[in-house]
Amino acid sequence: MVMPIIADASALAAPRLREAYAYWSGKLAGRPMPRRRDIDPVEIPALLPYVVLIDVLSDPLDFRYRLIGAEVRNISKANYTGKRFSELPDKARGGVIWDSCEQTVLAARPFSQSPSYIGPERSVRGCENLLLPLSEDGVRVSMILKVISFELRRDAMDAWLKPRNQS
């Protein structure tokens, strides 16, 4: 599966992902990728519930969930923090999530995809993901900053908004 390389934020549908891309781009400082320490959670509080930090492991290639934002955990109904993708059947080599991370590592460039949503949360209709590479040496991707934008079904959105409108 080939995902689009993101050259600028205009290629992204979700405002949250455009914000994440702009933040990542602002941290480049003339390098091909920012370092992990360049990413300051205090600067992106609205993104944090939708952020997933993924360690890139080598020899053999694998990925490990370092941090999973609260909204991602709520929607996925799971907390995989600390788990390797190879330990999780639906995340292992050959799956959509593995492939997107592997392509991000190989290209050392941001990618976006809108995979079919097959998770347990019935109110979610789809999602758009942005995978942003981070590097400590400017060459090898050592971590992926993934930001997810979930698309809710219309009836779920109405139910979510209703209590707020009645206040």
The structural domains of the chain, ordered by start, are: 9-165 (3.30.450.20)
Is the per-residue pLDDT at 105 higher than 90? yes
Is the omega angle on the peptide bond into residue 60 within 30 degrees of 0, that is, cis? yes
Categorize the per-residue pLDDT at 114 as very low, low, confident or very high, splitting at 50, 70 and 90: low
In the structure, what pLDDT confidence band is assigned to residue 157 with cuts at 50, 70 and 90?
very low
CA atoms within 13 A of residue 42's CA, in its CB half-sphere: 2
Mean predicted lDDT score pLDDT of the chain: 84
**Above 50 in pLDDT, residue 68?**
yes
Q: What is the mean pLDDT of residues 81-98?
A: 87
Residue 5 pairs in a beta bridge with: 111
Mean pLDDT for the stretch of residues 142-149: 95
